[in-house]
Amino acid sequence: MKKYDVIIIGAGPAGIITGTTAKMNHPEKSMLMIREEENGLVPCGIPYIFHSLGDVDKNKMGPRPFIDAGGEVITDPVVSIQAEDNTLSLKSGKTIEYGKLVMATGSVPTVPEFIPGHELENVFYIRKSYQYIRQLFDVLKQSKNIVVIGGGFIGAEVAEQLAQEKGKNVSLVEMEKYCFMRAFSPELSEIATTELARNHVNIYTSTKVESVEGENGKVKSVRLSSGESLEADAVIMAIGYKPNTELTRDTGLNLNRMGAIVVDNYERTNIKDICAVGDCSQTIGFLTGNLDNIMLASTATAEARVLGYNLFGIRIKKCFIGTLAVFSTKINGMAMAASGLNETNAAEANVDFVSAKFTDVDRHPGTFKDTSPLSVKLYVSPSDGHILGGETWGGCSAGEIINIISLAIQKGVTVYELISYQIGTHPLLTAAPTKAVLIKAAEMVISKLKR
Ligand SMILES: Cc1cc2nc3c(=O)[nH]c(=O)nc-3n(C[C@H](O)[C@H](O)[C@H](O)COP(=O)(O)OP(=O)(O)OC[C@H]3O[C@@H](n4cnc5c(N)ncnc54)[C@H](O)[C@@H]3O)c2cc1C
């Protein structure tokens, strides 16, 4: 039987970064990555296949960096793990032995079995599978009326892209008051929902899907809680994802109540030689220390780097504990991003905060052609001025400013320190130094804290 020092199951972002980082640190160890499909996709790029990229093959991703670093890759799905003797079985019938096993099996879409008609032909999900998305791409090309169920970021991004295709009538049904409510504050969720509507998506918020109706086994329409019925040639279910932990059956691996593999701060499980990383592993909220279920590529790759460095013992002490969901998107040309606390999750966790916002433009003077508005909102602890969360929206720089805010949250920066934060500015690149939007937002918060 063949044996490897390390076997990684899964070639998504978590698997690839774990493998590449581990191989970089331990070139002498033999490492194998096992994948299900020959071709992989950039998961975050999937919505853009349907319009901006216009081609499934323009969104390919593979474990090339791992291979270049000296790793081996095979395509042969793992069907079972025998943790008691450090072996696993493949679909082909082969058995392989591992020294250390990394579970990077990701997540799969939630199937809403409670919605009658969910099993009809032309009801789809956004699966992170090349073959599946290729088939979906072909069906959607032929579909005029498309109904997306679920206004989280995946459903919304897919709807936004499809609505830009000529001759398509795209509707989005969301049970909350606005789309994006799990990622953004109500204020930014409302802005994002308005941008979706401006992008010609027919929005049905505060609305539930009662059933998906079909004819001869094929989807025909979607019936809403309002009594309305939407004609549908295709339906896309985007109501969430769950950790893909099927392989843990009979292994003795501990799962949490959300079905994710329980791990410590170094991605180690309760079984000595098994680690888990990415969407299949548990996350703990940065601020509260409570279990949450953050499934983001940025989170998965941060975990993967921690694991890649520490697979054979703790070499680099993890310098933060807990997951800070940092999320960004672009709808109808407007960038939007969020990190950490907002009004909604603060209320759920009963966290005290003061917030303030500053809006200006991202060039100076604002008469340059490519000038966009830019807003920064900060959520701050009233007891000590620590930044607990932030939101940014407007021009593309919003996507990087949120990353600065995230670093500030992780490093415990206060709004008082932001006043002397030294920045670079240029007319063609940034807001004016006199009105640096992040610093002005900090000043706005300080003026509220003084009262
Ligand atoms: C449409 C979409 C858009 C997104 N946009 C963003 C974004 O903009 N920003 C962001 O941060 N996150 C985004 N995400 C989330 C992000 O894609 C996930 O968090 C990320 O893919 C997690 O990586 P992972 O490697 O843990 O899991 P996955 O990407 O799910 O990869 C798991 C891999 O394991 C393989 N596997 C599973 N079982 C087996 C088995 N038995 N044998 C062999 N291989 C197996 C699977 O085939 C898969 O390749 C998006 C997700 C989707 C679906």
pLDDT in tens, 162-202: 999 999 999 999 999 999 999 999 999 999 999 999 999 99
pTM: 0.96
Residue of minimum CA distance from atom 38 in ligand 1 = 105
pLDDT at position 244: 98
The residue-averaged pLDDT of 46-52 equals 98
Strands 123-125 and 107-109: unpaired
Q: How far is the CA of 66 from the centre of ligand 1 (A)?
A: 17
Secondary structure element (H or E) that encloses residue 448, with its range: helix 437-450
What is the spatial distance between Cα 265 and Cα 50, in angstroms, rounded to a whole number? Answer: 38
Q: How far apart are CA 390 and CA 370, in angstroms?
A: 24
State whether the beta carbon of 245 lies less than 6 angstroms from ligand 1: no
> What was the pLDDT predicted at 131?
97
263-312 tens-digit pLDDT: 999 999 999 999 999 999 999 999 888 899 899 999 999 999 999 999 99
For residue 238 and ligand 1, the question of a CB distance below 6 A is answered with no
Q: Measuring CA to CA, how many Å separate 213 from each of 138, 194, 221, 224, 226?
A: 22, 29, 5, 11, 15
Mean pLDDT of 375-398: 97
Nearest to 10 by CA among 214, 225, 304, 208: 304
Name the average pLDDT for the chain. 97
Is the CB of residue 297 below 6 angstroms from any atom belonging to ligand 1? yes
> Atom 45 (ligand 1): residue with closest C-alpha?
10
| Percent of the chain topping pLDDT 70 | 99
Centre of ligand 1 to C-alpha 163, Å, is: 25
* Three-class SS state of 120: coil
In 278-386, alpha helices (H): 297-310, 343-349
Q: Is any atom of ligand 1 closer than 6 Å to the C-beta of 34?
A: yes
The residue to mutate among 18, 296, 299, having the most atoms of ligand 1 within 8 angstroms of its beta carbon, is: 296
For residue 318, is pLDDT > 90? no
Q: Quickly state the pLDDT bin for 322 (edges 50, 70, 90).
A: confident
pLDDT of residue 320 exceeding 90, the answer is: no
Minimum CA distance residue for ligand 1 atom 31: 12
Strands of the 209-215 sheet, one edge to the other = 209-215, 218-224, 229-231
Mutational pocket test of ligand 1: of 75, 105, 129, 406, the residue with most ligand atoms within 8 Å of the beta carbon: 105
- On the question of pLDDT at 321 being above 80, the answer is no
Q: What is the mean pLDDT of residues 99-103?
A: 98
Residue from 44, 98, 136 to probe ligand 1 pocket by mutation (most atoms less than 8 Å from CB): 44
Indicate whether 319 pLDDT > 70: no
Mind listing the pLDDT tens digit for each residue in 231-264?
999 999 999 999 999 999 999 999 999 999 999 9
